Amino acid sequence: MNIAATRVVSHDSILNALPHPVISVAADGTVLDGNVASETFFQASIPVLRRHQLRELVPFGSPLLALIEQVRDRGAPVNEYKVDIGTPRNGHERVVDIYVAPMPERNGDVVVMLQERTIADKMDRQLTHRGAARSVTALAAMLAHEIKNPLSGIRGAAQLLETSVNDEDRTLTRLICDEADRIVKLVDRMEVFSDERPVEREPVNIHVVLEHVKRLSQSGFARHIRFVEEYDPSLPPVYGNRDQLIQVFLNLVKNAAESIGDQTSDGEILLSTAFRPGVRLTMPGVSSRVALPLEVCVRDNGPGVPDDLVPHLFDAFVTTKSSGTGLGLALVAKIVGDHGGIVECDSQPRKTVFRILLPMARVSQVDMNGRKAL
């Protein structure tokens, strides 16, 4: 038997192994064929796709159609990046990179490959969040030196005046002290960003963290809200810092509860975990790329986040609350970034989801004596 012959793989097998949708389009615009990923993307089987023209599967006037015409005219491949081809058939927002190439010896026929931007955009956004956190770090260091010291003197002077003024003026000196204390607290919160020490990590049971956060929330700010849990019981431990992870999810749950408000009778927060292999990112202090297969979501049924704020939601001082400082989600982004993870937000009315991807603990990081993850 010819061993080499047994290693021959069909073209269909190769195409079907690709995670990206690939379709061939005839000169008249009819879909000729596609791989398994294209069936998933367009939510239709190949026999069904073959009964359609491509223009029926993408938005009216889509740049994809113009790209195909350009390839036919030039006879050369063309790329286009970040194109939204979402439709009610395949989901309203589907941002993709498009690769179109002519098919040799088939006049007018082209091959189209679509690569969704989801993972790449997650990484881009995470780098942006880290940059924002570094900006806050520099600002916090400046404020600590230039503001806290003078405030201490102002507050001391106000306290001295308080002992020698009448009751009416004493109200003003009290106001000075209270406002000085409020500014100091704000600067103290910002100084958290200037802590650049390596994060002490160990295997952590994320479900124990979420349960602790839920108990804290239900005894305080979220006592009027129903919690729903959808956990993967087989989820391996997270490689992280327990206290910092509690801070992350406490901030997210508090944010969700404030979004729902006190007036909503059917307020609900969903906590979910899942294993999502495939995402890899460079983690601070580690030369190799780290897998981020552990997904934790906090979802609420509040009114949602305004579209214009979503891209800047994790920047410092961005907030939708009149009394908010805009540091809570910035701190979430910093802590998740320090863990080498990704945080993102998808928001629409009655369904806002904060999704965090984290690295799992390797076998070598788990106590070989059998100690359970905290």
Q: The tokens of 136 are what?
A: 């806050």
Q: Is 371 inside any structural domain?
A: no
Those residues whose C-beta lies under 8 Å from the C-beta of residue 113, and which sit 6 or more positions away, are 18, 20, 21, 22, 98, 99, 100
In a shared domain, residues 255 and 161: no
Q: ∠285-286-288 over CA atoms, to 5°? A: 160
Q: What is the CATH number of the domain that holds 321?
A: 3.30.565.10
In a shared domain, residues 220 and 349: yes
pLDDT in tens, 242-268: 988 998 999 999 999 998 987 667 899
In a shared domain, residues 261 and 280: yes
Q: Is 372 inside any structural domain?
A: no
CA pair distance 366, 176, nearest whole angstrom? 52
Q: Is 73 inside any structural domain?
A: yes
List residues bridging with 351 in a β-sheet: 348
Whether the per-residue pLDDT at 333 is higher than 80: the answer is yes
In a shared domain, residues 189 and 215: no
In a shared domain, residues 217 and 359: yes
Work out the pLDDT band at 134, boundaries 50, 70, 90. Answer: low
Position 135 scores a pLDDT of: 56
Residue 61 gets the label, from left (phi > 0), alpha (psi -120 to 50) or beta, of left
- DSSP for residue 360: B
Those residues whose C-beta lies under 8 Å from the C-beta of residue 340, and which sit 6 or more positions away, are 281, 282, 283, 284, 286, 290, 292, 358, 359
Work out the pLDDT band at 225, boundaries 50, 70, 90. Answer: very high
Those residues whose C-beta lies under 8 Å from the C-beta of residue 308, and which sit 6 or more positions away, are none
Q: How far is CA 180 from CA 172, 190, 285, in A?
A: 12, 16, 39
In a shared domain, residues 179 and 35: no
Q: What is the CATH number of the domain that holds 86?
A: 3.30.450.20
Residue 205: closest CA among 233, 228, 183, 238: 238
Burial of 112 (0-12, 13-18, 19+ CB in 10 A): buried
Residue 331: closest CA among 219, 251, 256: 251
Those residues whose C-beta lies under 8 Å from the C-beta of residue 40, and which sit 6 or more positions away, are 21
Evaluate whether 26 touches 34 at the Cβ level (below 8 Å).
Answer: no
CA pair distance 47, 108, nearest whole angstrom? 21
Whether the per-residue pLDDT at 29 is higher than 70: the answer is yes
Residue at a domain's end among 141, 160, 194: 194
Whether the per-residue pLDDT at 83 is higher than 50: the answer is yes
In a shared domain, residues 188 and 252: no
In a shared domain, residues 132 and 188: yes
Position 296 scores a pLDDT of: 95
Pairing of strands 268-275, 294-300: antiparallel
Q: Is 373 inside any structural domain?
A: no
pLDDT in tens, 178-220: 878 877 776 666 655 555 667 788 999 999 999 999 998 998 8
Whether the per-residue pLDDT at 366 is higher than 60: the answer is no
Q: The tokens of 56 are what?
A: 């029926």
E strand segments, 259-320: 268-275, 280-282, 289-291, 294-300
Position 26 scores a pLDDT of: 93
Give backbone dihedrals phi and psi of 138, rounded to 5 degrees, phi first: -65, -40
Evaluate whether 77 touches 101 at the Cβ level (below 8 Å).
Answer: yes
Q: Is 374 inside any structural domain?
A: no
Residue 79: closest CA among 101, 102, 99: 99
In a shared domain, residues 316 and 225: yes
Q: What is the CATH number of the domain that holds 138?
A: 1.10.287
Evaluate whether 337 touches 168 at the Cβ level (below 8 Å).
Answer: no
CA pair distance 201, 72, nearest whole angstrom? 55
In a shared domain, residues 181 and 212: no
Residue at a domain's end among 95, 116, 137: 116
Residue with tokens 């897998």: 291
Across 97-115, average pLDDT: 87
In a shared domain, residues 190 and 208: no
In a shared domain, residues 246 and 152: no
Position 17 scores a pLDDT of: 80
Q: Using CA atoms in the order 139, 143, 145, 146, what is the torsion angle rounded to 10 degrees? A: 120
Work out the pLDDT band at 313, boundaries 50, 70, 90. Answer: confident
List for the chain the helix, strand, coil content (%; round to 5). 45, 20, 35
Q: How far is CA 372 from CA 46, 203, 231, 233, 237, in A?
A: 48, 8, 18, 15, 9
Query: In which domain, by residue range, is 172 found?
Result: 121-194
When divided into structural domains, the chain yields a total of 3
